[in-house]
Amino acid sequence: MGHADDHPAADGAHTRSQASQHCDLCEAAPITTWYHEDAVCWIADCEICQVPMVVWRSHGAEPPADALSHMLDRLRAIADARFGVDGWFLDREMRRIPDHFHAHARDPDWWSRIAARFLRP
């Protein structure tokens, strides 16, 4: 596994020619907990959900099968380490950004953590 690039989007070195408009996932900077990055994907805590999220480096909704299995394998390893093997579920629904592949590894309590944060005065 090479380290061709250090941080995605940190210095704009990545050209985003495919992204015609603003995309949060293309522009994501490593501002949260950063778990993993390679040529195919990166994994960091989702800013909103506070759970690990894998994001495809390419802007598109349907990664090829080999990229998909690579990403889900990486996410699984990280989620297993954080939540325990049976302590999380894969959420592939792309609610906020439907045209750029990403998937969350959620633990059963993720929503109550978010709710607690928003309900706090």
We find the least distance from the C-beta atom of residue 59 to Zn ion, in angstroms, to be 4
CA angle 39, 6, 16 (to 5 degrees): 60
We find the least distance from the C-beta atom of residue 103 to Zn ion, in angstroms, to be 10
Cβ proximity to Zn ion: between 1 and 20 the closer is: 20
Q: How far is CA 86 from the centre of its chain?
A: 20
For binding to Zn ion (CB under 5 A), which residues are involved?
A: 23, 25-26, 46, 48-49, 59, 100
Cβ proximity to Zn ion: between 93 and 121 the closer is: 93
Cβ proximity to Zn ion: between 57 and 70 the closer is: 57
We find the least distance from the C-beta atom of residue 26 to Zn ion, in angstroms, to be 4
CA–CA gap between residue 9 and residue 26 (Å, rounded): 8
We find the least distance from the C-beta atom of residue 80 to Zn ion, in angstroms, to be 19
CA–CA gap between residue 103 and residue 110 (Å, rounded): 14
Cβ proximity to Zn ion: between 6 and 47 the closer is: 47
Most distant CA pair in the chain, distance = 46
> Do the Cβ atoms of 58 and 18 come closer than 8 Å?
yes
Q: Identify the bridge partners of residue 54 per DSSP, sorted by sequence position.
A: 43, 103
